[in-house]
Structure 1
């Protein structure tokens, strides 16, 4: 996607928001965490600011089901990435839809994982939209 030179690899783990923020030197909100859910026997990804949590009521209103995260094995099966390194691009199962949460709109750039538990790439929101082939912006999180 042309971001290779911008991928940052760390000596330490960036598998959690807290670890990623520390090694990248940013506030936790700038970490774009990619959460994997099961909806109608398919995987969806919700990319949200690192300092948020899923709001179950908003999630259910949007997706018409309760928030059920995938097992670690299913995350690999659908995304091709292990938990802690799931990124919203280069997804194994092309039917997987990517939703971007508005919680990230506070920032000019965000840092999603780059496919491993010790990497990230800094992207503008426009770049994230293109790279993730996102379905739509949603409001399913709370601070």
Structure 2
């Protein structure tokens, strides 16, 4: 179970108790916002793509959408999300619980600029009924992010 993997990951930092588990589903931005009690934009959704043969994750604000021209300019390829079956195999978490923590080796993590307007956000923690509150500095540190990128639209219009 990938939430156990995420708990184990955070245990080394003494943070496993910061993971929130809900009775209700938090598998979508709207459900997660309801479970956490925040605006949907503060849910940090983690999107799974493939660039060549490399699986990547883009963590973006809940109200942001991938902008295809920006994505192509950043990665020099068309945005192609992973299929449901590929996500678990390549990333290590199932759809609904995908997060940038305790992922499989070889997965590159990027943080989208849409998140920077918040002091803290709520990414999933490996299951479809979990989340963890993170500041931007914590998100950078614990996600192992490669870099901040700007590939989304809809959040600043």
TM-score, shorter chain, exceeding 0.5: yes
Shift of 1:3: 2.2
Structure 2 alignment gaps of length 5 or more: 1-9
Q: Quick check: 1:26 aligned with 2:38?
A: yes
- TM-score normalised by length of structure 1: 0.97
Q: What's the C-alpha RMSD, in Å, of the aligned pairs? A: 0.7
- Runs of 4+ with >6 A deviation: none
Q: Quick check: 1:102 aligned with 2:102?
A: no
Q: Secondary structure at the match of 1:106?
A: coil
The correspondence for 2:141, drawn from 111, 115, 130, is: 130
After superposition, what is the alpha-carbon deviation per residue over 1:55-81, rounded to whole angstroms, capped at 9, x for unaligned? 001000000001100011110011111
Structure 1 alignment gaps of length 5 or more: none
Q: Quick check: 1:70 aligned with 2:82?
A: yes
Decide whether the 8 Å contact of 1:47 with 1:88 is kept in 2: yes
- TM-score normalised by length of structure 2: 0.89
